[in-house]
Structure 1
Amino acid sequence: MTTLKRRLAATAFVGSLLSATALAQLSEYGIEGLWMVSTRDAEMRGTVSPGGQRIVWGSADRPGGAGGGDLWQARLQDKRWSAPAPLPLNSPADDAEPMFSADGRWLYFASARKGGSGGHDLYRAPVLADGATGAAVNLGAAVNGRGHERSPTISADGQWLLFSSDSRKGAGGYDLFVARWDGKAFIDPRPVPGVNTEADEIDSTWLDDGRVLLFSRSSQAGGEATRLYLAACNGQAYADARPWTLSFNTGEGVTRAPVVDASRPTEIVVTGSARAPKAGKGDLYRTVTPTLKGKPGCR
């Protein structure tokens, strides 16, 4: 074999390795809406409407909103997110952490706007036929306390509300709670069994029809680094929580805000900061929904 042929063969072999690595990375995750949704600003928690035509997310510092953190919405056009715009329901205070209900009728979110019970309260707004939202309604004193309530997650049947709070006596810092719908309001919030610690459990989502919990936990009480954990229900509590094996879900960074795409249940949107692709301070990424299985009895 000539020297030139050897060089060409070696180049082709190295190229095949690089291509395989790139393909493996792309099969694990991809950035969501580069320069439309994920930008140089700090994006947090994205939720896709059940029909898959809209995405709403929070941004801490994107210019053009009402002030503080704001909720933004983009629409699907030619298979791409386009025309990002702030929602009219934004207030001058912090509005964040949205989630569509499974039937698409409601948009749940957290807000520090005036008129609440304390810091951040939980709200919901009706979603109109054209995708616009109506007036925000506070979820009430049974859920909202004098501290902060964050990261609302509604069950598929609309009967259970999962959220994070530092208003109530718990294990320490932010803890995860679940409240039930009584036909008029969410009431009787109770600690989620098995996961709360002295560190902060910030946000979470149910998998496997409530039998598995995917949630974020800080490295220590009040710590800024957060990591996503998976825990399966053993019939009484979510047990044996372990870090989710997503490559950028490390103990040094910030990975949180998991929300299953209601239009594609096998895919999930999370907030984090991968090495590549990367847009800014915090980006939204799409990856495969974990398939861990659990037992009933934890909700």
Structure 2
Amino acid sequence: MRPRPLLLALTASLLFTPLASALSEFGIEGMGVVSTRADEAHATLSSDGRRIIWASNREGGAGGWDLWQASLRENRWMDAQPLALNSAADEVDPFLSSDGRWLYFASNRKGGSSGFDLYRAAVDAEGGFGPAMPLPAPLNSRHDERSPALAGDGALLLASTRPGAAGGWDLWHARRDGDGFAAPAPLQGINSSADETDGSWIGDGRALVFARGGHTGGSRLWLSHCRHGRWATAEPLALSFNTGEGDTRGALVDASKPTELLVSGQARAPRAGGLDLYRMRTPASDGDNDCR
């Protein structure tokens, strides 16, 4: 029996997000351009929705994991290119500020404090990037720092292996202080004996989505709501391939469409390669915003 025309249209449309999220709970992002046979993770979008930046270990970069970007033309992502600021080391966890002025990311390049550090680069009027500059202490430390994410009020969320929290990778929060940041503090009620990374605020801080690593490898995305000034017990993010046996991470809200969330994972279908980028609805939250 021949497939029905509507089914064919829906299947084909999944190849060309960002329209895919309007059709289903999740759809693959940019098949063949953004999501490829390589591993892709942690996508961030500009507030006008015309640019996407993500981390990939595909060939053609400077080496290891690099940051790549693509442009939206005719409702499709096109012209994937590595960023000029990449190094022979790893560049991961990109995050574009909401005003479009800064790109934050993590790298273990030479010249940092130790291991992975947080960096930012200015975004110029033509969409290019200035030199990568490390964030000052106490944001960077002698330990590892990764996955920077900014709240609407400028507060910074990051993951770090520094002491003072639950151990391993934990999530920390640094409030805005003038042109910089105050000393980071661990997120109470979130961190555990496992590894917590890739934190991202939802709904102006009413909820938090983050990755928690399992003891057997891989990671899973979790969601916690702010209740009366405390983070409530986290529950797995409602996504079909977000299982204890899988590897799902890098959730970030689409700055141009706050009702949509991009995640990295391994669905059975549609699938391009290893870790792919997918879109889903941003979870709703009726929590308060007193946890920041």
| TM-score relative to the length of structure 2 | 0.91
Show the counterpart of 2:181.
Answer: 186
Distance in 2, Cα, partners of 1:272 & 1:128: 32
Residue among 213, 221, 238 paired with 2:208: 213
Show the counterpart of 1:298.
Answer: 291
Is residue 2:85 matched to residue 1:55? no
Secondary structure class of the residue paired with 1:209: coil
Preserved contact between residue 110 and residue 122 of structure 1 (Cα < 8 Å): yes
**Which is greater in Rg?**
1
Secondary structure class of the residue paired with 1:210: coil
Post-superposition Cα deviations, 1:114-151, rounded to whole Å, max 9, x if no partner, equal 11111100011111111111111111111111121010
Instruction: Please state how far the C-alpha of 1:15 moved relative to its aligned partner.
Output: 7.3
Distance in 2, Cα, partners of 1:168 & 1:128: 37
Distance in 2, Cα, partners of 1:279 & 1:69: 18
Is residue 2:188 matched to residue 1:204? no
Secondary structure class of the residue paired with 1:163: strand
Point out the structure with the larger helix share: 1
Is residue 2:128 matched to residue 1:132? yes
How do 1:56-205 and structure 2 match up within 5 A?
56-59=53-56, 61-158=57-154, 160-205=155-200
Q: 1:205 is aligned with what amino acid?
A: S
Post-superposition Cα deviations, 1:37-90, rounded to whole Å, max 9, x if no partner, equal 00000111101111111100001x211111121000101111111010000011
Instruction: Please state how far the C-alpha of 1:202 moved relative to its aligned partner.
Output: 1.2
Preserved contact between residue 208 and residue 225 of structure 2 (Cα < 8 Å): yes
Q: 2:67 is aligned with what amino acid?
A: L
Structure 1 segments, 4+ long, off by >6 Å, are: 21-25
CA-based RMSD of the aligned residues comes to: 2.1
Residue among 265, 277, 286 paired with 1:284: 277
Distance in 1, Cα, partners of 2:153 & 2:229: 21
Paired residues, number: 282
Distance in 1, Cα, partners of 2:197 & 2:283: 19
Q: 1:55 is aligned with what amino acid?
A: I
Is residue 2:252 matched to residue 1:259? yes
| TM-score relative to the length of structure 1 | 0.89
Show the counterpart of 1:230.
Answer: 223
Q: Percent identity?
A: 53
Instruction: Please state how far the C-alpha of 1:184 moved relative to its aligned partner.
Output: 2.9
Distance in 1, Cα, partners of 2:180 & 2:107: 18
Instruction: Please state how far the C-alpha of 1:168 moved relative to its aligned partner.
Output: 2.6
Distance in 2, Cα, partners of 1:94 & 1:278: 24
Preserved contact between residue 206 and residue 285 of structure 2 (Cα < 8 Å): no
Distance in 2, Cα, partners of 1:268 & 1:173: 26
Secondary structure class of the residue paired with 1:40: coil
Distance in 2, Cα, partners of 1:214 & 1:293: 14
Q: 2:218 is aligned with what amino acid?
A: A
Preserved contact between residue 56 and residue 74 of structure 1 (Cα < 8 Å): yes
Is residue 2:34 matched to residue 1:41? no
Preserved contact between residue 90 and residue 108 of structure 2 (Cα < 8 Å): yes
Post-superposition Cα deviations, 1:5-25, rounded to whole Å, max 9, x if no partner, equal xxxxxx79x979x89x97999
Gaps of 5+ in 1: 1-10
Instruction: Please state how far the C-alpha of 1:97 moved relative to its aligned partner.
Output: 0.7
Preserved contact between residue 46 and residue 57 of structure 1 (Cα < 8 Å): yes
Gaps of 5+ in 2: 15-19
Preserved contact between residue 164 and residue 186 of structure 2 (Cα < 8 Å): no
Secondary structure class of the residue paired with 2:270: coil
Show the counterpart of 1:242.
Answer: 235
